[in-house]
Chains A and B, each alone.
Chain A
Amino acid sequence: MKITLAHGAGGKFSADLIHEIILPAFDNEILNELHDGAKIGRLAMTTDSYVVRPIFFRGGDIGKLAVCGTVNDLSVTGAVPKFLSVGLIIEEGFDFDDLKKILRSMRAAVDESGVKIVTGDTKVVGKNQADGIFINTAGIGELIDGVEISPKKICAGMKILVSGTLGDHAATILAERHGLELPPNVKSDCAPLNKMIFEMLSIEPKIPMLRDATRGGVAAVLNEISAAAQVGILLDENKIPIRSEIRGVCDILGFDALELANEGKIIAVVPKNSAEKILAAMKKFDCGKNSAIIGEVTEKFIGKVGLKTKIGGIRIVDMPVGNLVPRIC
């Protein structure tokens, strides 16, 4: 058997690869939890590799993505991100000016999020042995006292929040790859969310679940949450923020915005009574100005996600099986 692109697509094949090949190789109680970030005492740690194509896209580039992705993974673990490492794998012939541009945008992103890059590594490989540049980042953060992100704390009646419009990152990249014209205001949502998340947790330390809705989009994240917490989730299509241009890209290319990767959006499950207060706080941040309450936790249809459609039907939002859109991040 050989690795296919489906093994990297975040669906069932990826899960099989992780569970059958990777986990058994390292097997320990911290890794086996499979959070976005590992919790080690009062520390959180995470790592991610970035292979996006094109390297520069509207709203960001591979460097900004590499910082924001790791910062956000630490934040949704309930930590304040502190220190990052950077590994650069560069293809022979890569342009110096492009490299400088990428490093500058990494610097801007670390400054914005208040973290430091404290160690790193550089490798150069021959022509055609990589595609321009690949970046790995790892990060360490400090877990916030009194915060416990855990699906066990989720119960019926809680509200589902999203921090803005869905699908912007993946749709922008796909549109660029396929030469579809988008108006200038439509761009990748790539952004560090740690300050907004810190504010949310300050208002309500009992937020039981935060996830960044990257690969597989909101559909994947909510399905994982409903399965882990053994609850149902019902969304209201009328409340879900999606830009009309992104809807258009989805129609043309045959995607569902709920399944598209975001790089600056979180899903939060929050206690009912503090939902409006948290929402108001999110809206004060530029990265959260289009936040909305999009649904709630229910004790019906355990382990499943439903969507009340605009015409009043209710349909299932399934776990994406892993669309073949390689190198989106």
Chain B
Amino acid sequence: MSGLIEKIEELASGKKNLRFMEVCGTHTVSIFRAGIRQILPPNVELVSGPGCPVCVTDDEYIDKAISYAKISGVIIATFGDMLKVPGSDSSLEKVSAEGADVRIIYSPLDCLKIAEENPTKKIIFLAVGFETTAPTAAATILAARSQGIKNLFFLSAQKLVPPALKMLLNDSAVRVDGFLLPGHVAVITGAEVFKFLAASYKIPSVVAGFEPEEILIALINLLRQVDENRAEVANEYRSVVKPEGNIAAKKILAQVYEEVDADWRGLGKIPKSSLKVREEFAEFDVEKILPLEVKKSARRTACRCGEVLRGIISPPQCPLFGKICRPLNAVGPCMVSVEGVCAAWFKYRGALT
């Protein structure tokens, strides 16, 4: 293990300040849990990008979810970390305490059982996540159709990682010298979808695993590319990530979803960056079946989530961080999700020497 750290020190020695970005909440948490920042040379900086699905979900979506939750006869099925995300004036946790039926699930497939057990209710699944979870959500829709389930609907805001990276690299305020690419996403997409990073932007990148030593190995790979002044999409998670990804999962995705433009918190509108249920499956799209208008959010705070999500500032540079914005009283979503950048900084804040 110490050999890895020495290698990093050797490769980084004499270099300019290097900023490597991870774009996966699991990487963010793993880096903090292992205390990796403290053992890196001072000129190797790790910054977090838009890697937490809850965090990049915009206010309008949250407000819509809350409005649906308040309709009688509706059961909201959601991953747990959506519960506390603040909308314009409430949260799912609050409307749940006020009587709304909000259920935490661990897999979209759990929705099938809820739908069967509650035939008179409308079950709305909050489909939030990246390429990692989208295939299971798509499989749920296929299963619901084949089982004849008529009371399960999706509120879709699933996001795609490659368009977001493109957006970041086109943003002149963002400075990144290399990417730690999300291993779980790449299991589905394959490493090849990230080729544009090297081809169009000359940015080194590495598909990385999640164990501390796997992250160190990926950093060595990035440093080598910088050292040799080249850029490629390397794969240091070869045991599970194939160049072409998971073909079966990609096929289900293409069958159920189409790519559409979408608003990302902090990054604005990104072309072809979100997955929407295709017209052929419109009976599962809650926005078609039960259309609902919410006011454009008027929430104005000093929260700088947007810059945090682009890696322009680190969380402690936000004036609200750790003061009025804390995990139990979050102003921005980055402080809510366990994989949120601000929540991770807050949890592991401060140095121990």
Question: Whole-angstrom distance from the CB of A303 to the nearest CB of chain B?
Answer: 11
For the complex, what is the distance from the CA of A124 to the CA of B26, rounded to whole Å? 46
Q: A315-B352, A318-B349, A322-B328 are in contact. List 19 more A-B contacts (CB 8 A).
A: A2-B97, A4-B93, A4-B96, A300-B352, A304-B350, A307-B35, A309-B33, A310-B34, A311-B4, A311-B39, A311-B212, A312-B1, A312-B2, A314-B38, A314-B353, A315-B38, A315-B348, A316-B347, A318-B348
| Chain A residue nearest to B94 in the complex (CB) | A4
Partner among B5, B80, B352 whose Cβ is within 8 Å of the Cβ of A311: B5
List residues of chain A with CB within 8 A of the CB of B96: 4
List residues of chain B with CB within 8 A of the CB of A13: 328
Interface residues in A191-244 (C-beta closer than 8 Å to B): 232, 234
Interface size class of B (residues with CB under 8 A): 35 or more
List residues of chain A with CB within 8 A of the CB of B34: 309-311, 313, 315
Q: A301: CB under 8 A from chain B?
A: yes
Q: A3: CB under 8 A from chain B?
A: yes
Central interface residue in B33, B94, B352, by most chain A CB within 10 Å: B352
- The reply to whether B97 and A4 contact each other, CB–CB distance below 8 Å, is yes
Partner among B4, B36, B327, B347 whose Cβ is within 8 Å of the Cβ of A313: B36
Q: A123: CB under 8 A from chain B?
A: no
- The reply to whether B83 and A324 contact each other, CB–CB distance below 8 Å, is yes
- The reply to whether B348 and A316 contact each other, CB–CB distance below 8 Å, is yes
19 intermolecular pairs with C-beta atoms under 8 Å apart: A3-B97, A11-B328, A178-B106, A178-B107, A234-B352, A254-B339, A306-B352, A309-B33, A309-B34, A309-B35, A311-B39, A311-B212, A312-B1, A312-B5, A314-B353, A315-B32, A315-B352, A316-B348, A321-B328
For the complex, what is the distance from the CA of A84 to the CA of B96, rounded to whole Å? 37
- The reply to whether A311 and B83 contact each other, CB–CB distance below 8 Å, is no
Question: Whole-angstrom distance from the CB of A236 to the nearest CB of chain B?
Answer: 13
Q: A31: CB under 8 A from chain B?
A: no
Q: A147: CB under 8 A from chain B?
A: no
Partner among A2, A306, A316, A318 whose Cβ is within 8 Å of the Cβ of B98: A2
Partner among B32, B36, B83, B352 whose Cβ is within 8 Å of the Cβ of A301: B352
Q: A253: CB under 8 A from chain B?
A: yes
List residues of chain B with CB within 8 A of the CB of A322: 328
| Chain B residue nearest to A324 in the complex (CB) | B80
Q: A187: CB under 8 A from chain B?
A: no
Q: B216: CB under 8 A from chain A?
A: yes
With contact pairs A4-B97, A6-B93, A253-B106 given, residues A310 and B212 touching in the complex (Cβ less than 8 Å): yes
With contact pairs A4-B93, A6-B93 given, residues A312 and B352 touching in the complex (Cβ less than 8 Å): no
With contact pairs A2-B97, A310-B212 given, residues A315 and B80 touching in the complex (Cβ less than 8 Å): no
Question: Whole-angstrom distance from the CB of B31 to the nearest CB of chain A?
Answer: 9
List residues of chain A with CB within 8 A of the CB of B38: 313-315
List residues of chain A with CB within 8 A of the CB of B213: 311
| Chain A residue nearest to B350 in the complex (CB) | A316
Interface residues in A1-57 (C-beta closer than 8 Å to B): 2-4, 6, 11-13
List residues of chain A with CB within 8 A of the CB of B97: 2-4
- The reply to whether B1 and A311 contact each other, CB–CB distance below 8 Å, is yes
Q: B104: CB under 8 A from chain A?
A: yes
Interface residues in A281-329 (C-beta closer than 8 Å to B): 300-301, 304, 306-307, 309-316, 318, 321-322, 324
For the complex, what is the distance from the CA of A55 to the CA of B107, rounded to whole Å? 23
| Chain B residue nearest to A313 in the complex (CB) | B35
Q: B338: CB under 8 A from chain A?
A: yes
For the complex, what is the distance from the CA of A254 to the CA of B25, rounded to whole Å? 11
Q: B37: CB under 8 A from chain A?
A: yes
Interface residues in B100-148 (C-beta closer than 8 Å to A): 104, 106-107
For the complex, what is the distance from the CA of A244 to the CA of B9, rounded to whole Å? 31
